[in-house]
Amino acid sequence: MKSQFRVVIGSDEAGFAYKKVLKADLEADPRVSSVIDVAVGDDADKTAYPSIGVAAAEKVVAGEADRGLLLCGTGLGVAISANKVKGIRAVTAHDAYSVERGVLSNNAQVLCMGQRVIGRELTRKLTDEWLKHEFDPSSASVAKVGAITSYEDTDSCD
Ligand SMILES: O=C(CO)[C@H](O)COP(=O)(O)O
């Protein structure tokens, strides 16, 4: 059987409506064992996206979650913020192929999407797609992802 994922989900106010729907989907999904919510409390909560992106990323790095799912207006700000946390690979992806390759090529733990960019049903389909894939630790992508980690540790990709 494939792994079950512990997922941390988060959004700012601009991603809050989709976050609610995607959280419910995750909680009902047998591929997901737990969901941690670090989103704003409601769509009037003005906590800005960097705090949310970093909070979710820190949960992943701390080993409390395997994956992060982040929403903001564009999916860009949460990705930039999450990527500031050492060890995190966050991608913004709005099509199925990019979602798949974010996992298989980049071993990205965090998927980010934008509520002001794509429709709600597409985010649900893409979240389903995301849960189908796991990084292959014997693939040719391992060395390339390793170069990213190497840069974090040594300021060099070598
Ligand atoms: O999309 C966002 C950041 O990338 C965020 O939801 C809105 O940010 P703003 O355009 O700076 O208000």
- 103-130 per-position pLDDT tens digit: 999 999 999 999 999 999 999 999 999 9
Note the pLDDT of residue 147. Answer: 98
Task: Determine whether 157 is an active site residue.
Answer: no
Higher pLDDT, 1 or 63: 63
Q: Which of 72, 84, 113, 117 is the best mutation target for the ligand 1 pocket, counting ligand atoms within 8 Å of the beta carbon and taking the most?
A: 72
Over residues 37-62, mean pLDDT: 97
- Give the 3-state DSSP-derived string for the chain, with helices as H, strands as E and coil as C: CCCCEEEEEEECHHHHHHHHHHHHHHHCCCCEEEEEECCCCCCCCCCCHHHHHHHHHHHHHCCCCCEEEEEECCCCHHHHHHCCCCCCCEEECCCHHHHHHHHHCCCCCEEEEECCCCCHHHHHHHHHHHCCCCCCCCCCHHHHHHHHHHHHHHCCCC
| Residue 128 Cα to ligand 1 middle (Å) | 25
Checking ipTM against 0.85, whether it exceeds it is: yes
Instruction: Round the average pLDDT of the chain to a whole number and report it.
Output: 97
Over residues 56-72, mean pLDDT: 98
Note the pLDDT of residue 3. Answer: 78
